[in-house]
Structure 1
């Protein structure tokens, strides 16, 4: 800290918490000024804010619904103390449930597929969770997520008293975002949020945000960022190599929400967006947040001057260091070398200015 910087040493720290669960939520909302050219200068065209959900105890926005669904199951008696939870996850919910189940003395069995990265799998195991990996897509649909869900049903029949929290249809999932995520964003911005960008998988996040917007008569435009290859909101099924965004079947929760706009992004755009956010704002985020950055770049020129926009940073980027942030993996899996990645980043910057050709370096 420089001599001219204000000292914070005299400030009183937060009061101690009785339980780690109390640390879920209340994540910072940070203004982004360097991500795109229009955000900087004496008279920026609009305001962009990022909700840093990676600062939840489990490192993602999934801490909110994981805790809400688990506590609801225990309070209702559907899950007995010391019982077993079996859930499908591409990663973040698995880590969040592993932590929550450990704190509540509940056994957790997480059904994953081959796309799970090594750090995520190791984290679930370290927290006491057990992994059941699906190695082949569902033969009828060719979808790994569908295969995971079917394996969950098999395990529920094999394990006495086991419970599935059904993240894809459990109302406690969107309720956690209605009462937490969107409420916090709205209150921080005096309930003036012109647009909100959120990635979708179960659609619990955007569904809960939509409920808050509706209940408080807000005019917020809700933009769902979905993966190419996802069937949500009328999408076409296809291969998805990055976890955490999109779905291979129409979830129950997605039938209850209709975003104002759906922007579909491919895996290279997600990778370029994540890297752009890291290099311009110092925020290391996961692939789905990279998709949001890409969607923002494409739609920024259409937003009215003076707009106040919020985006959700769904998780941190550390679990993606060996994939999205690794040039060798990107080259092998996405077929993009360093030059292609640089062009993709510059394309996003050009798109954010409404330009056809790539602009300045990232």
Structure 2
């Protein structure tokens, strides 16, 4: 399985085509990938752990989803399922929608993005600005009570209504993890000379961690994989419950998740994500989204169990600008997560104290 995943996205669109002169490339897709890997010295300075952050937020669309979006569209075109003038209909919590809007526009393809009521307003506006169309699901699926299931049903309806429309199905498309095997993890491995003790990634479709795991296995690395999932997600044996933040966890077991077994799964609450995201911003100057905040919080709780000198990398899945009205807004956090400024301060102090004991 891992070899198939790694091979499914040969030439995943990481800037290889279109060079016209040194420092000049053709098209914004050439800027996808080759993101920096940054050592963080201020996040948990007394941890004794070397912490590296893969800054996927600097991709053209602002997230790691630029990689699978480009890979899946190119794969669909190569297979003949999609061509200029066609239509892509896809379910997204936001980031993939932004990435696909950009890629589809560049290829002359109509794009309809099915989102739900949790999606950030800035993200929806960005998709529209890039030429995408929005189909909003306001209510959960009546049978399951899940918004993701409701989005899937809307996708099916649109595929029936729009002649020739194609669903790339990020939740099961091998090009999704393939892009991370051939791109994200390969870049991390090469930057660290293949010496990495642990990798942390947030999970939703599970494409990132599945692709990274594929590369780790195929290259013989001894890296442990740690999946950060939302409380309320059903992935990896979780129990279903409402999830207030988009882009982390899933209400259904995705096809890709069945192909990967992380070495460890850590579940985080919405408030944990807020604490982690704000800590990363204020200690390292990296404004990241909710899922990355979840990773930071999970890392702080794991530090005491890591050996001194451990080298660990985590994925900064997206930037924080779309979350300024949610994760970084005190009024929203208190209203939605029932956590006021004092509670957040106490949780942050507790996390830092835990990490310092490492």
- What's the TM-score once normalised by structure 1's chain length? 0.92
1:204 matched to 2:207: yes
Query: 3-state SS of the aligned residue for 1:79?
Result: coil
Distance 1:80 1:103 in 2: 12
Distance 2:268 2:158 in 1: 34
Residue 107 of structure 2: aligned partner: 104
Residue 291 of structure 2: aligned partner: 288
Residue 150 of structure 1: aligned partner: 153
Distance 1:321 1:59 in 2: 14
1:320 Cα offset (Å)? 0.2
Deviations 1:29-72 (A, max 9, x none): 00000001325xxxxx2211000000000000000000000010
Deviations 1:140-173 (A, max 9, x none): 1100011001110111011100000000000000
Residue 325 of structure 1: aligned partner: 328
Distance 1:109 1:165 in 2: 12
RMSD: 1.1
Determine which of 21, 25, 29 is the counterpart of 2:33.
25
1:292-303 alignment runs, 5 A limit: 292-303=295-306
Distance 1:149 1:197 in 2: 28
Query: 3-state SS of the aligned residue for 2:156?
Result: helix
Determine which of 127, 134, 138 is the counterpart of 2:137.
134
1:308-347 alignment runs, 5 A limit: 308-347=311-350
Distance 2:351 2:153 in 1: 38
Which gives a bigger RCO, structure 1 or 2 (Cα 8 Å, sep 6+)? 2
Distance 2:351 2:273 in 1: 11
Distance 1:183 1:116 in 2: 31
1:243 matched to 2:246: yes
Specify every segment of 5 or more residues in structure 1 that has no aligned partner in the other structure, as ranges. Answer: 1-12, 40-44, 356-362
Distance 1:102 1:344 in 2: 43
Deviations 1:152-211 (A, max 9, x none): 011101110000000000000000000000000000000001000000000000000000
1:345 Cα offset (Å)? 1.0
Query: 3-state SS of the aligned residue for 1:37?
Result: coil
Report if aligned partners of 2:49, 2:303 keep a CA contact under 8 Å in 1.
Answer: no
Residue 173 of structure 2: aligned partner: 170
**Highest Rg: 1 or 2?**
1
1:294 Cα offset (Å)? 0.6
1:217 Cα offset (Å)? 0.3
Distance 1:354 1:238 in 2: 32
Determine which of 191, 200, 203 is the counterpart of 1:188.
191
Determine which of 82, 85, 89 is the counterpart of 2:85.
82
Distance 1:284 1:63 in 2: 18
- What's the TM-score once normalised by structure 2's chain length? 0.93
Distance 2:164 2:316 in 1: 36
1:48 matched to 2:51: yes
**Structure 1 segments (4+ residues) deviating >4 Å:** none
Determine which of 52, 55, 63 is the counterpart of 1:60.
63
Specify every segment of 5 or more residues in structure 2 that has no aligned partner in the other structure, as ranges. Answer: 1-20
Distance 1:178 1:224 in 2: 16
